Amino acid sequence: MEKQTALYQRHVAAGGKMVPFAGYLLPVQYQTGIIAEHMAVRKTCGLFDVSHMGELIFEGPDSLANLNQLLTNDYTNMDIGRVRYGLMCYENGGVVDDLLVYKMLADKYFVVVNAANRAKDVAWIKEHLFGEVDFADISDDISQIALQGPFCEEIIAKLTSDIPQKYYRFIDNAKIDGIEAIVSKTGYTGEKGYEIYIGNADAQAVWDKLMAAGGEYGLIPCGLGARDTLRLEAGMPLYGHEMDETVTPLETGLDFVVKLEKDFIGRDVLLAAGPPKRKRVGLKVLGRGIIREDQDIYFNDALIGKSTSGTYCPYLDGAYAMALINVGSVDLGDTVAADVRGRKVEAQVVKLPFYHNV
């Protein structure tokens, strides 16, 4: 039985097509449709209910030590009010989850994890906690709304002056028209945007205020469908696709958040493995059709890997995919072929990201 977020009634009232996702009922799209919602985020602004995401707290003198042991990135030397991306690995270097760490206080961190992995993450973390640290899963108390697109600053400025100025910064105890919130300048769309965390009781009010403030800018609510086409167009990885327990952060090209000089769970295996033998590439579909996930990729009739995600990208008006392929098998500009339900669809190896605006 799926759960509802605090915004469920808003989605239904707005004509949202509700689907089960990570244990919640969320809109895959509204009457506007995925393409229009995607384009709104690129051209004006879109509003997303992302309350299904998980939020965890680490508090106490050993919080930092625990985070550094669990995660690939180094969380030392972080100012309060900063956000830092990282991954959590198994001993064998495969990925448990990717997540964001928000430094709230000297000894307090707010960690945002993928909805689908929340239970798994909590169990893994609890198994590995040490020293003086209090760990809590507060996801059920927190709602999250993402405001993404070129007019996000104008819209949020009508409701608050507690606006983080730089990317990957946040303001705690922000007041959105009097309502307490965490406002971070982060997002999963490749556009400027904010992610706003509030208590469940305040979610509808904040949603309504943002919708009202955004009306003149063309703000529309957007669903999971557009969330996926946007992140893919921006070349952003999604757990369960570009990485999972069988893929290391290095293979998926996230080495910029893997600090091998620091000790963390999985580090020894990553070091011993040496340079990765697989890598993530971008594919621009040349033929007719869409390359989606889990499709075999061939170069000169040799199987070189598999696609991990793919869809039609509305802003670029074309189909794009990401694939995990053998290192050295192809160069940028090479033409590969994907097996799409028995048909050969050609694609060109291109740089990632396909689109960016932040």
Partner 1 sequence: MNIPSELKYVKSHEWLNYLEPDRVRIGISDFAQKAMGDIVFINLPQVGDPATAGEPLCDVESVKSVEDIFSPVSGEITAINEKLLDHPELINADPYDAWIVEVSEVTATEEILSAKEYEAFCEQEG
- Rounded to a whole number of angstroms, the minimum distance from the CB of residue 312 to partner 1 is 4
- Rounded to a whole number of angstroms, the minimum distance from the CB of residue 323 to partner 1 is 18
Comparison of 170 and 188: residue with beta carbon closer to partner 1: 188
| Rounded Cα distance, 102 and 28, in Å | 28
CB 278 within 8 A of CB 327: yes
SS3 240: coil
Comparison of 185 and 284: residue with beta carbon closer to partner 1: 284
Q: What stretches of 3-141 adopt beta strand conformation (E)? A: 3-4, 17-21, 24-29, 46-49, 54-59, 83-89, 95-105, 108-113, 134-137
- Rounded to a whole number of angstroms, the minimum distance from the CB of residue 189 to partner 1 is 15
Residue with the two structure tokens 């972080």: 78
Query: Which of 263, 241, 270 lies closest to 73, judged by CA?
Result: 263
DSSP 200: H
- Rounded to a whole number of angstroms, the minimum distance from the CB of residue 35 to partner 1 is 4
Comparison of 43 and 292: residue with beta carbon closer to partner 1: 292
CB 146 within 8 A of CB 193: yes
DSSP 115: G
Comparison of 82 and 292: residue with beta carbon closer to partner 1: 292
Comparison of 6 and 291: residue with beta carbon closer to partner 1: 291
| Rounded Cα distance, 349 and 335, in Å | 6
- Rounded to a whole number of angstroms, the minimum distance from the CB of residue 101 to partner 1 is 32
Residue with the two structure tokens 């690129």: 42
Residue with the two structure tokens 């053998």: 326
- Rounded to a whole number of angstroms, the minimum distance from the CB of residue 34 to partner 1 is 5
- Rounded to a whole number of angstroms, the minimum distance from the CB of residue 301 to partner 1 is 23
Maximum distance among all Cα pairs of the chain, rounded to whole angstroms = 62
Comparison of 34 and 133: residue with beta carbon closer to partner 1: 34
Non-local CB neighbours of 119 within 8 Å, separated by 6+ positions? none
Comparison of 262 and 292: residue with beta carbon closer to partner 1: 292
What is the token pair recorded at 274?
């040496």
- Rounded to a whole number of angstroms, the minimum distance from the CB of residue 168 to partner 1 is 29
Comparison of 29 and 160: residue with beta carbon closer to partner 1: 29
Query: Which of 113, 134, 130 lies closest to 66, judged by CA?
Result: 130
Q: Tell me which residues touch partner 1 (CB under 8 A).
A: 28-29, 33-35, 225, 229, 288-290, 292, 311-312, 314, 319, 341
